[in-house]
Amino acid sequence: LSWTERTLRLIWVIVRIILFLGFLYLFVCALSFLSSAFRLVGGIAAGKVLNNHELLNNPIAALMVGVLVTVLVQSSSTSTSIVVALVGSGLLDVGPAIPVIMGANIGTSVTNTIVAIGQFQNKNQFRRAFGGATVHDMFNWLSVLVLLPLELATHYLQIVSGKIVKPISSAEDFEIELLKAITDPFTKWVIQIDKK
């Protein structure tokens, strides 16, 4: 490569890194907006309804809710982000959220199967795409078939997440505000919640 081509390539790499960091920042800010929106729109009453609702207290129904939401939005990342924002805003407990997130992983199976079916024009390409989708589907289904009964019997994910968060939440003088310190200037400019 010539000196000009190397310089252009280096500039392009730097631009991509800056874009990646910028989009990551916007994603974290979007999660903060989502959490704030759930607090504003839902409030405490919605949190009580979600926590005490029979649908989410039944793990199989919660699993199906996760599948349905993921199929509707066609993105497990979106549905998982919604659940994380609900838990982060205090509107949903960790226990009912675990089967919903497992359902979101199963919901991706529908998405990849739809994408694989879209390759039907070329027989060989369709076979490869559908084979890959099937492997992904089996991994998701088998993971849930093993981990969900284990979670229901032992609540290991809920216990582990509680043990991870407990030292952080129990330290009175120590708060992790790294992401808030980075995102607050932008998120406070867009929306502020009155705690009262």
Domain boundaries, the chain: 59-192
Tokens standing for 114? 């739809």
Q: What's the rounded Cα separation, in Å, for the pair 194 and 4?
A: 54
Question: Measured between alpha carbons, how far is residue 142 from residues 102, 129, 166 in Å?
Answer: 11, 20, 31
Lowest mean pLDDT among 39-53, 61-75, 120-134: 39-53
- 155: tokens are 């609540």
Q: What is the pLDDT of residue 19?
A: 96
CA distance 168 to 155: 21
**Residue 167: half-sphere exposure toward Cβ, Cα within 13 Å:** 3
For the cut 70, the answer to whether the pLDDT of residue 40 exceeds it is no
| pLDDT of 171 strictly over 70 | no
CB 137 within 8 A of CB 109: yes
* pTM value > 0.85: no
The better pLDDT of the pair 114, 142 is held by 142
Work out the pLDDT band at 170, boundaries 50, 70, 90.
Answer: low
The per-residue pLDDT for 178 is 63
- For the ranges 2-11, 144-153, 181-190, the lowest mean pLDDT is seen at 181-190
Q: Are 147 and 102 within 8 A, CB to CB? A: yes
More confident site: 32 or 130: 130
Confidence of residue 34 (pLDDT cuts 50, 70, 90): confident
Q: Is the pLDDT of residue 146 over 90?
A: yes
Distances, alpha carbon 163 to alpha carbons 16, 158, 159, 160, 174, in Å: 38, 9, 6, 5, 17
| pLDDT of residue 132 exceeding 80 | yes
* Cβ atoms 133, 115 nearer than 8 A: yes
